[in-house]
Amino acid sequence: MGESPEPTGADERVRARRSLVDYEADRLVTTFEDFADPSQEWRRLFSELLGTFFLVLVAAGGGMIGQAFPNTVSRSAAVVAPGLMVLAIILFMGKVSGAHLNPAVSIAFALRGDFPWRRVPGYVVVQLACGSAVRETCSGSSSPTSRPWPGLSASG
């Protein structure tokens, strides 16, 4: 008489869905706790450094290579590539650093209250240092007669 009915397939799906929601909520809380953990600052700064380096390299490098070596990089590729790079960086590094990639973004997030001010100087220094690093990386490939490595000509 007091026995409960055997669970149906619909009941099991509801329970599974609830456990999935609980699991995702726990993952989200863990992500926020990791993002607030000061011992992980080096990971955030390295992620920001790598992401900013890739973005600036693709954005500046495409135009430089297209100018130095005509008919190698189309205008549409040089325009679309940075957007695709931002997408890739956000997808694979967004959870670690927030993928700001730009001092203006870091400062804007801090002004909005979405990013702690104590992290802004580190992010800005790393982002600006990446600009210099890319300039040094690309400066050797700015002319068709440059040789990036000894014994290797620019034309092959």
**Range of weakest confidence among 29-43, 76-90, 127-141:** 29-43
Q: Is the pLDDT of residue 121 over 90?
A: yes
Per-residue confidence (pLDDT) for residue 143, from 0 to 100: 52
Is residue 148 a part of any domain in this protein?
no
Q: Does residue 60 lie in a domain region?
A: yes
What CATH number has the domain bearing residue 99? Answer: 1.20.1080.10
> In this structure, is residue 18 part of a structural domain?
no
- For the chain, the distance separating the N- and C-terminal CA atoms, rounded to the nearest angstrom, is 86
Cα 102 → chain centroid: 11
Q: Average per-residue pLDDT in the chain? A: 79
What is the span of the domain harbouring residue 98?
39-139
4 in a domain, yes or no?
no
Task: Identify whether 147 is part of a domain.
Answer: no
Other Cβ atoms closer than 10 A to 48: 28
User: pTM for the complete prediction?
Assistant: 0.65
One-letter amino acid at 57 equals L
Q: What angle do CA 50, 54, 59 make, to 5 degrees?
A: 150
Q: By the 8 A CB rule, do 101 and 55 touch?
A: yes
Q: Residue 152 falls within a domain, yes or no? A: no
Whether 29 maps to a domain, the answer reads no
Residue 25 in domain: no
Question: Rounded CA gap, 82 and 86, in Å?
Answer: 6
Q: How far is CA 65 from CA 32, 68, 70, 129, in A?
A: 40, 5, 8, 22
What's the pLDDT score for residue 97? 87
Residue % of the chain over a pLDDT of 70: 69
Overall number of domains in the chain: 1
| Total count of residues recorded for the chain | 156
**pLDDT per residue over 51-103, tens digit each?**
999 998 898 888 788 878 888 888 888 889 999 999 999 998 888 888 999 99
